[in-house]
């Protein structure tokens, strides 16, 4: 196992009916900016629960943070934070609203002229404006990590940021929020969380027995609950196990002491930036070809995953590893998620080269656990996914 430090300061408040605890979790003497998306929270009762819990707080609202939060939209919220002397941010939404809030938490204290530089120049955030979250979509793990992804339509960029100053102070996770999620978002949530585990697990054996077992446990739990969540989001047992799995998939624990990959995400972000394909679906497109391309380096872990997650006990390491990739693709299909770029667009010729250029422009020239996925290799992976 590699040496590691673990720092996860977010207080997680989990369970049905817990949104009311906002009354005590949100600091009183500060003006609060409540941030949310396109309005789903007004239809499903979350907005009412939040405003009721904050009835004795001073609250200003900012709505309209879109899926794949846009820099231009966030700049408008930044103005409000500055003009209204906001002292606390409350994100009520999925990964996009939470990530947008993280960007704002960083940008408001940033001393440079152009907040986009935080993303473009990969400036880590050590101190941010304090914020909390009410999660409405299990998927990203953003409720308990310090990363964020922000998009910029005019330049077709989608970039990551983060740092120890960007953990939510608290996150409220009420599994009943999934009842109003469309099938598409439920499936996305499962596939995103599943891929988060894979990016931290599917590398090479590192003698990290517990991390491996936790990762395999999250994968198995997602496989078990996915059909239940998709057929009946009112099933609280399935919903709560789904939500906790998504948080555990990306809250630091399984990544400690092990090599991590993240190339699937970094390549896939280019597909969202260019075509607007949902984040989770871009992962399902890239993952199978990434593992096929890096088969020799990953085959031992692929075989372990085949044995422990899919109970494949016969065959050589290579045979088991191949089945593992097939089974993963079949799992995405079982969620109703297609795994080829051509399933989403006819306009894919030459896109491998575009990805290579963009990765170069953003300095992402050594991806993967061995730092050997160059832009050229990334282009091949994308071409294999046409
Ligand atoms: O805007 P509203 O009206 O709220 O609708 C949203 C949105 O259209 C809707 N929704 C959310 N909760 C709902 C609901 N609809 C009905 N009932 C509810 N309870 O769902 C749509 C998608 O929401 P979004 O927040 O975009 O989804 P998700 O949570 O999947 O977030 C995706 C974003 O997170 C980034 C992705 O790249 C993408 O930008 N990621 C963030 C990560 C992180 N911070 O750690 C890691 C991930 O790998 C990912 O990259
Ligand atoms: Zn993701």
**Which residue minimizes the CA distance to atom 45 of ligand 1?**
142
Specify the domain boundaries for CATH 1.20.1090.10 within the chain: 183-384
Strands (E), 43-156: 59-62, 88-93, 131-135, 147-152
Residues with CB under 6 A from ligand 1: 37-41, 44, 67-68, 93-97, 99, 136-137, 139-142, 145, 147-149, 177, 180-181, 185, 188, 192, 250, 265, 279
Asked whether this complex has an ipTM greater than 0.90, the answer is yes
Q: How far, in Å, is the centroid of ligand 2 from the Cα of 195?
A: 7
- Architecture per CATH, domain 183-384, reads as Up-down Bundle (1.20)
Return the residue matching tokens 């446990």. Answer: 217
341, 348 contact by CB (below 8 A): yes
Compute the distance between CA of residue 181 and CA of residue 230 in angstroms, rounded to an integer.
Answer: 10
Q: How far, in Å, is the centroid of ligand 2 from the Cα of 156?
A: 18
**Which residue minimizes the CA distance to atom 34 of ligand 1?**
95
Q: What is the DSSP letter of 207?
A: S
- Point out the ligand 1 atom lying closest to the alpha carbon of residue 177: 19
Compute the distance between CA of residue 229 and CA of residue 240 in angstroms, rounded to an integer.
Answer: 10
DSSP state string for 21-54: GHHHHS-SSS-EEEEE-SSHHHHSSHHHHHHHHT
Pairing of strands 147-152, 157-162: antiparallel
Find the ligand nearest to 137 CA: 1
Q: Is CATH 3.30.460.80 what the domain over 11-176 is classified as, yes or no?
A: no
Compute the distance between CA of residue 267 and CA of residue 25 in angstroms, rounded to an integer.
Answer: 38
The pLDDT tens digits along the chain (386 residues) read 999 999 999 999 999 999 999 999 999 999 999 999 999 999 999 999 999 999 999 999 999 999 999 999 999 999 999 999 999 999 999 999 999 999 999 999 999 999 999 999 999 999 999 999 999 999 999 999 999 999 999 999 999 999 999 999 999 999 999 999 999 999 999 999 999 999 999 999 999 999 999 999 999 999 999 999 999 999 999 999 999 999 999 999 999 999 999 999 999 999 999 999 999 999 999 999 999 999 999 999 999 999 999 999 999 999 999 999 999 999 999 999 999 999 999 999 999 999 999 999 999 999 999 999 999 999 999 999 99
Specify the domain boundaries for CATH 3.40.50.1970 within the chain: 11-176
**Rounded alpha-carbon distances, angstroms, from residue 374 to 46, 201, 294, 359:** 44, 21, 12, 9
Q: What is the DSSP letter of 125?
A: P
Compute the distance between CA of residue 340 and CA of residue 328 in angstroms, rounded to an integer.
Answer: 14
347, exposed or middle or buried, with CB in 10 Å at 0-12, 13-18, 19+? exposed
């Amino acid at each position: 196992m590699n040496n590691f430090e673990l720092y996860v300061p977010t207080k997680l408040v989990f369970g049905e009916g817990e949104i009311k605890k906002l009354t005590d979790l949100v600091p009183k003497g500060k003006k609060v900016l409540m941030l949310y998306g396109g309005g789903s929270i007004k239809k499903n009762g979350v907005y009412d629960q939040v405003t009721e819990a904050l009835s004795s707080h001073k609250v200003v609202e900012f709505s309209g943070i879109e899926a794949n939060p846009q820099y231009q939209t966030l700049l408008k919220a930044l103005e409000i934070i500055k003009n209204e002397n906001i002292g606390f941010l409350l994100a009520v939404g999925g990964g996009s609203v939470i990530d947008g809030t993280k960007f704002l938490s960083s940008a408001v204290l940033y001393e440079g002229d152009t907040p986009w530089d935080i993303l473009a120049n990969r400036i880590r955030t050590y101190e941010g404006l304090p914020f909390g979250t009410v999660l409405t979509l299990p998927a990203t793990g953003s409720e308990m990590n310090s990363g964020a992804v922000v998009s910029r339509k005019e330049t077709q960029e989608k970039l990551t940021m983060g740092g120890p100053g960007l953990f939510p102070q608290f996150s409220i996770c009420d599994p009943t929020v999934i009842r109003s999620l469309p099938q598409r978002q439920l499936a996305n949530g499962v596939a995103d969380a599943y891929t988060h585990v894979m990016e931290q697990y599917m590398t090479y054996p590192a003698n990290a027995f517990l991390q491996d077992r936790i990762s395999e446990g999250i994968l198995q739990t997602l496989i078990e609950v996915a059909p239940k969540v998709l057929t009946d989001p009112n099933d609280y047992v399935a919903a709560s196990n789904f939500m906790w799995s998504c948080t555990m998939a990306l809250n630091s624990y399984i990544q400690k002491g092990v090599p991590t990959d993240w190339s699937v995400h970094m390549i896939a972000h280019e597909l969202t930036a260019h075509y607007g394909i949902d984040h989770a679906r871009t992962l399902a497109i890239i993952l199978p070809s990434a593992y096929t391309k890096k088969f020799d380096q990953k085959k031992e872990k692929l075989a372990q995953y085949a044995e422990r997650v899919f109970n494949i006990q016969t065959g050589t390491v290579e045979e088991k590893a191949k089945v593992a990739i097939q089974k993963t693709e079949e799992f995405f299909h079982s969620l109703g998620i297609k795994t080829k770029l051509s399933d989403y667009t006819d306009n894919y010729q030459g896109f491998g080269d575009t990805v290579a250029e963009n990765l170069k422009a953003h300095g992402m020239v050594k991806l993967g656990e061995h730092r050997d996925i160059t832009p050229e290799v990334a282009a091949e992976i994308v071409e294999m996914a046409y």
